[in-house]
Amino acid sequence: MLKQISVDTVKQAADLAYEAVADRQRFLAGMRNIDLGEQTSERGSRNPTDLDALSILSSDASGALSQLNQMLEDLTPEQRMELRAVMFVGRGDFAGNQWDRALDEAGRAPDATHYTDIAERIDLHRDLMKGLYELDLLKKKDGQ
């Protein structure tokens, strides 16, 4: 199924995203009464704010986010496309048996060869791990 990117690489991206979220939470814990300015609503979303993304962190504020961005930058466009397709399956846009459709959609994304839409996702860890599970690329642990 995955031809361009390994399961371990997807898991590494998920782990870095998890660490970046922890950095984000520590960063936000120190903030009080900040002015978010005018926030635009995305279609079908709940009152999103800039605080809903990892992009509020600078690379200096999160070593994990910096590593994630570097990792995504180093991937080939084809690898990023497969990573994005795993993310689509994990967030429920496609079922595990719809891999070809997810991959096709990942290639049609407006910035399919870039990575900023991936790196900014607050739920990236969950989406990637769930995607691997839905695609039967992760084994259940014994007793589960």
DSSP assignment of 35-81: -----PPPTT-SS--GGGBGGGS-TTT-HHHHHHHHHHHHS-HHHHH
Token pair 């995607």 is at which residue?
A: 131
Q: Contact, 68 vs 119, CB < 8 A?
A: yes
* Structural domains counted in the chain: 1
- The residue segments making up the domain with residue 76 are 7-27+51-135
pLDDT at 20: 87
> Could you tell me if residue 16 is inside a domain?
yes
pLDDT tens per residue across all 144 residues of the chain: 899 999 999 999 999 999 988 887 777 666 555 555 665 655 555 544 444 555 545 555 568 888 998 999 999 989 999 999 999 999 999 999 999 999 999 988 766 667 777 877 889 999 999 999 999 998 755 444
First to last CA, the chain: 24
pLDDT at 38: 62
pLDDT at 55: 53
> Could you tell me if residue 141 is inside a domain?
no
pLDDT at 140: 57
pTM equals 0.77
> Could you tell me if residue 1 is inside a domain?
no
pLDDT at 35: 56
> Could you tell me if residue 128 is inside a domain?
yes
Contacts of 18 (CB under 8 A, 6+ apart): 64, 125
pLDDT at 3: 95
- Count CB-CB contacts under 10 A for residue 48: 12
Q: Contact, 84 vs 13, CB < 8 A?
A: no
pLDDT at 141: 54
Q: How are the residues of the chain apportioned to helix, strand and coil, as percentages rounded to the nearest 5?
A: 60, 0, 40
